[in-house]
Amino acid sequence: MRVLIVEDESRLAENIARSLREIAGYAVDLAADGPQGLQLASRNAYDLIILDLMLPGFDGRQLLVQLREAGQQTPVLILTARDDKESLVTLLNSGADDYLTKPFDLGELLARAKVLIRRGKGQPSPLLTVGDLQINTVDHTVRRGERAITLTAMEYRVLEYLAHRSGAVVSKSELLEHLYDYNWEKFSNVIEVYISGLRRKLNDGKQRQLIHTLRNQGYTLQE
């Protein structure tokens, strides 16, 4: 999954980014003001936007309104120092999906981020199931039937994204956009390598393939 953090407090932004990368395994981009945040959110595919309310250039609410008016449906988690009911109601009515009042616990932010991403994919449960494959998005464990499967961090990220889009055809470019941050050079065969590793580990003697390749289109995870 790929997250955009729009926050002008650099230390806070880096702490959030570090937690998302190291604990959740997400790709993270950072923006320090409203215009940069709008530019990145408009150009790239994100699974979640974490948006500070008070920003240079223009504030988070203005950015949120512009995204929603443009048809952008990416879940947005607002970070705000305001805790009065009227301000929070205004944020939710402007299109925010959730909010956290500063100061907050990073563990709570991470939990809310995971919930919003799941909801955005139409998967309210932390358990993703495809046939006899079960993926626990909380502790990042994978089982097929009674067998526990050990994956590398990137293999897990590819599998989780495919599971969120179960039954749909996911192109290589879509996978790259959602699994890597803005600085990644997207010109290699890494996706093919991860798909090959996943097939080998998921099948392991099983006759039923779960990951299917559609020539010149992409991959689909389905029973």
**Thinking of the domain 2-120, which architecture would CATH place it in?**
3-Layer(aba) Sandwich (3.40)
Dump pLDDT digits (tens) for 79-108: 988 777 777 888 888 899 999 999 999 999
- The pLDDT assigned to 28 comes to 96
Q: Say whether 127-221 and 2-120 share the same fold.
A: no
pLDDT at 206: 65
Sign of CA dihedral 121, 122, 124, 128: negative
- The stretches in the chain having pLDDT less than 70 are 184-188, 205-207
Question: What are the extents of the domains in the chain?
Answer: 2-120, 127-221
What integer pLDDT is reported at residue 91 of this predicted model? 86
Give the right CATH number for 127-221 from 3.90.105.10, 1.10.10.10, 1.20.1260.10, 3.50.50.60. 1.10.10.10
Phi/psi of residue 20, nearest 5 degrees:
-65, -40
CA distance 70 to 80: 23
Q: Report the pLDDT value the prediction gives residue 185, as an integer from 0 to 100.
A: 63
